[in-house]
Amino acid sequence: MVTNYKKSRIIFTFTKLQKLSKCRCIILLWFSLFSLPSMAHEIRPAYLEINQNEDTLTEYQITWKIPLVGNKAPKITPKFPEGFTLTQTSDNFLSDAYIRYYTGTYKQSLNGQKIGIEGLELTLVDVLVQINLANNTSYTLLLQPDHPQEIIPIEPSVWEVAKLYLILGIEHILWGIDHLLFVLCLLLLVQSFAALIKTVTAFTIAHSITLALASMNLVHIPQAPVEAVIALSIVFLAREYVFFRQGKGDSLTVQYPWLVAFVFGLLHGFGFAGALSEIGFPQQNIPLALLTFNVGVEIGQLLFIAVCIAVLAFWRKVNFNFSFSLPKWTWKIAPYVIGTVAAFWLIERVMGF
């Protein structure tokens, strides 16, 4: 009796949810629209580069790049070993970052010394630290809010570089809402698991090609137009899904989603490369960093797809168990939300040229 009572209460709750007015759904929809634009890009890491002077060995040239969150730079500052003197020489404001340039003096070896970022634990920002010594050795460190300091290794480790750029790749795709919305549109359009595998593979191959070409400076395209076209690609796919659900013929996108994914994937690869160029590469391990970053992007993408499939499976199970149906127009929510947000990004990015 208790079990039947609980089940009746659950069915009653779902029935009440079905009776929500269109007005309330529209209010929730527009609330989500205004919360998404600020998340179009992931929170990009700060970057600290330390270059040892080959002539004196005790002098260093330092670049400290802080990403802007909104229009403000987080209050974080590098913390060097005791005895390290620091003098600011200049600074520069960019559209998305604040850069400070320093000269430093330190009479001891940096190896085995501790370096950190003061105030990092109060932010959501990661910091990539690149240290280039005069003996042609380099070290790449990743500092995070829960780990704001690190000891500079005695010897460089390629495994640390691989781990670091793998993490950066995963974080990049999972915080890059525009890329995720593009993948979500592809999921909505494909009609079978085989088509999904083919489409995701085509997208992966395409953005891997352009990511490699752009990162190695073999091809260069300005970042602003690339970001605008990425937003346009999302609008296009949202529109294609609406036409497909309305039965307005089988377009090229519906018949060959892998082809569309490949073409737009080339553009998304340039977007990935733009973010990676802001982070920088360890000069002695560029191929490894590029490979592991790309693998990280794929892992993040597959995690997102797995979550989407799991949510869909859960929804179908709930629908089967409780036999309730939503209004016919509810399928429009996803493409219209995605399309509207992407259109906002498109206008915003074009105006930023």
pLDDT at 149: 93
pLDDT at 326: 66
Which ranges of the chain have pLDDT less than 50? 1-39, 42
pLDDT at 283: 67
pLDDT at 322: 58
Structure token pair of residue 292: 């592991």
pLDDT at 282: 72
Do strands 46-52 and 127-132 pair parallel, antiparallel, or not at all (unpaired)?
Answer: parallel
Domains of the chain: 46-156 (2.60.40), 172-351 (no CATH)
Residues with Cβ within 8 Å of 132's Cβ and at least 6 positions away in sequence, in order, are 49, 50, 51, 52, 138, 283
pLDDT tens column, 130-176: 898 888 888 888 898 999 999 998 877 788 888 888 988 888 888 88
77 within 8 A of 143, measured Cβ to Cβ: no
Compute the distance between CA of residue 185 and CA of residue 238 in angstroms, rounded to an integer.
Answer: 6
